[in-house]
Copies of this chain bind each other. A is one copy, B any other.
Amino acid sequence: MPRDRPQLTNAARPSTFEVATRDEHDAEGVAHIAGEHPLTVYVDKKEILTIMTLGAAPEALVLGYLRNQRLVDDIEDIVAVQVDWDVNAASVYTRNGLVDLDAKMEHRTKTTGCGQGTVFGDLMAEIDEVKLPEGGTLKQSTLYALSDLVRKHETIYKQAGAVHGCALFSPTPELLYFVEDVGRHNAVDAIAGFMWLDGVSGHDKIFYTTGRLTSEMVIKAAQMGIPFLVSRSGLTQMGFEIAKRVGMTMIGRAVNRHFLLFNDAGRFVYDAANDTQ
């Protein structure tokens, strides 16, 4: 039986804006800069938080935020997400209200690093319950193929910088979702929102991010049940330790045909020794 899909607006905003500049030669020019907009999230008319976002996928971002914060357990509990940029608001309507909102908000106040980009206490507790699927493989040739696909999609970054991109790939690899945002965590949340909406399981997927693999990025990928995490950037010690703990295959510094395998978990297959493009 098909699931009830929430009613969604489709309120993506223009992603880049032109501004006048002067360069080192005192020459006037025009630069493209990335949009950044406050989006205040209301759930059943209760204000939850304000997210600063590029605004490219606001409905998926809000859904993924609610999902990743475990404020809603089932997508069928969401009736609608209505984004209205005239008032910078995302109004979420639920069937039965949020479970335990006050308790979760209270806990969030105590344990999260606002402005530090982390929500620590709850997430670490949850990590010990995550079991990433064993088996499965990621071939070097697949890694290269998905890197090539990503390169073609980073349009906002190429034009304006100041954004991070995240992508979800099938094993083929097929690019399933690609989201850029001014916030590293927004892009991850939006991907989670799309997966949740479409009923996509993470068990055989590959998550790619241009951003650094800090603890929270690794935790979010693990929460989404994704065994393969690839970044163009580096990683932190805690990101590394959590990847080992949950058995995630973790690759950093993936640029062109270079990469570093930081944690394997028995899934990586070298099959492209002669591909030196």
Contacts and interface: CB of A to CB of B under 8 A. Distances in A.
A260 B23 CA distance: 5
A215 B117 contact: no
A97 interface: no
Interface string A66-80: 001100000000000
A261 interface: yes
Nearest to A160: B234
Nearest to A181: B116
12 contacts: A19-B240, A21-B260, A23-B260, A24-B259, A35-B237, A49-B109, A49-B110, A52-B113, A52-B116, A105-B109, A117-B184, A161-B253
Q: Top 10 nearest A-B pairs by Cβ distance?
A: A161-B234, A36-B236, A162-B234, A36-B238, A112-B114, A22-B261, A21-B260, A162-B212, A50-B120, A51-B113
A116 B183 contact: yes
Contact of A33 (B108, B112, B120, B235): B235
Given A140-B24, A162-B214, A212-B182, A36 B113 contact: no
B236 A182 contact: yes
Interface in A21-65: 21-26, 29, 31, 33-38, 40, 47-53, 65
